[in-house]
Amino acid sequence: MSGSAPGARRLWLGLAAAVLLLAAWLALQRLPPGALPGMPPAALSQGLAVLAAFTAAFVLDGAIRRWLWHGLLGEEGRSRVPEIVIGLASLGGYGLTALLVASMVLGLDVTAVAATSGVVAIVLGVSAQQTLGQVFAGLALNLSRPFRIGDSLQVDGVWGRVVQADWRAVTLRTYEGTLVTLPNTLVAAARLTNLQAPDDILRHAIAFVVEVDTPPGQVQAVALAAMAGMENVLATPAPLVLFKQYEDRGLLYEALFWHRDPNLYILRRDEVGQALWYAFRRAGIPVAVHRRLLAGPDGAGMGGPAPRRQGEVAALLHETRLWGDLPDAELAAFAERARTVSYAAGEIIMREGEHGGAMFLLLDGAVSVRLADPAGGEREIYTQQRGEICGHMSALTGAPRFATVRAAGPVTLAAFDKTSLAPLVEAHPEMVETVAQEILRIHQAERELREMSPMFEALESERDPLRAVRWLVDRIHGHFRGGKSNGPA
């Protein structure tokens, strides 16, 4: 027991007094009769008994202060119980001790005093019934410890962070920025949900309705893929997409996902909700809504394919290094084969290590190009803006993606798959040479990316740029003809 701990000094003083009283009592027992003339032994015994009783009350008060008020009900060296309550408890203990001494030691009749005290206590109890209820409810909450300062709670329809909890009430700061004070009696009786116990991981659910013609397996696959790519959605526990029930509008599903920090649930719901919308739109899965209210003039409602932007795509392609030399007619035909897709902020457009896939032209927004960090997570190496192309090296050569590309915000892209690219590769062998030169330029300008791609590792060993270009040309032709080249020879 530390001498500086609250209540410890009382314990030491009380124990010292008890030792002195014990010594005095032993000395009194050894005195011969008449050794203290004018001082009856009975009076001395009574005096020692009175002192012993109040010394015991003093020690008990110190122990209660040390291990209850500042121990079990304490936090960071302070008691969560108000000093007035601690003082009243001490006063009540000494008052009870005085009654016991008067009755048992001095032999006085304390019936009238006790009766008067009982009447006073009843009057005070009735007049302060609500306040006493709050005090005892506060004590019960402090003993059970269902929450701590800073925890996020849901109490009686109120959601907020605990900023204060005292003998009378609990104060929450809501997410609107206001303070709500709830009486302890209400908190103790209401259903209390601590969103940060036992940890700060929270499960959230987003319900959506899909038209009945869409296979449930497809809906679940698309929704799971969308959530799996979100940085703030936990991989463990894994997200779930569950069929709930049949409704008049279609099939009701629920997307379940886990995230950290319940205080950010609004942002996480927004992120996942947007990702689901974009994923369903790309997949052509119609979300069931009141179409007469939301449909545009062309009748396209939510969940339909994205609008086509061939003229804009052709104009942007004309400005690129790869496709700018193509005749306008062929550029227009190439743009006609593009598929317009949209992604929400944070969604993965392509993942590092995946094979092949589409080439993308940015129409709106920006993307973040990232590499896997050996320490965990991802690190951004650069961003791309409107009019730039990404994914063309993998789409043209069949090599694995050397980086992960995430949407830096809401983005719209024109996607060109292998089928769209094949006619140009076959009709324009000279264009393949230009593409190979461009890949080599990117390879030489971004040396830090080479170790992340097997194709770059193969190019790194080739010292002759002309041989490297020839190998890339062969690789592109081999990819579209079904063949494969192992590396520069």
Query: Which one of 2.60.40.1930, 3.30.565.10, 3.30.750.24, 2.30.30.60 gives the CATH number of domain 144-194?
Result: 2.30.30.60
CA distance 180 to 154: 12
| Cα separation values, 205 from 36, 242, 254, 275, 327, Å | 86, 10, 6, 14, 51
What ranges do the domains of the chain cover? 8-127, 144-194, 201-294, 310-481
CA distance 476 to 398: 8
φ and ψ at 256, to 5 degrees? -105, 135
CATH architecture of 310-481: Sandwich (2.60)
CA–centroid distance for 459 within its chain: 44
How much is the pLDDT for 86?
A: 75
The residues near 69 (Cβ < 8 Å, ≥ 6 apart) are 6, 7, 79, 81, 86
For every residue of 381-427, DSSP letters joined together read EEEE-TT-EESHHHHHH-PBPSSEEEESSSEEEEEE-HHHHHHHHHH
Question: Splitting the chain (489 residues) into consecutive groups of 10 residues, what average pLDDT does each group show?
Answer: 56 74 68 60 68 77 76 69 70 79 70 60 55 66 76 85 83 87 84 83 91 90 91 92 91 94 86 92 84 45 53 87 81 87 89 85 92 82 90 82 89 89 80 75 58 53 63 72 52
The three-class DSSP label of residue 366 is coil
User: In the Cβ-directed half-sphere of 374, how many Cα atoms lie within 13 Å?
Assistant: 2
Give the chain's radius of gyration (CA, Å): 40
Element (H, E) at 241: strand 240-246
Domain 201-294 belongs to what topology?
A: Alpha-Beta Plaits (3.30.70)
Report which of 59, 144, 185, 47 is spatially closest to residue 105, judged by C-alpha positions. 47
Does the pTM surpass 0.95? The reply is: no
Whether the Cβ atoms of residue 232 and residue 268 lie closer than 8 Å to each other: yes
What the block records as the tokens of 72 is 């079990």
For residue 177, give the DSSP letter. S
How much is the pLDDT for 276?
A: 94
How much is the pLDDT for 222?
A: 93
Whether the Cβ atoms of residue 85 and residue 135 lie closer than 8 Å to each other: yes
CA distance 252 to 288: 9
How much is the pLDDT for 457?
A: 53
| Cα separation values, 190 from 104, 186, 305, Å | 46, 6, 49
The number of helices, as runs of H, and strands, as runs of E, in the chain is 16, 18
CA distance 279 to 76: 49
Owner of token pair 């036992």: 198
CA distance 339 to 307: 9
Element (H, E) at 20: helix 8-30
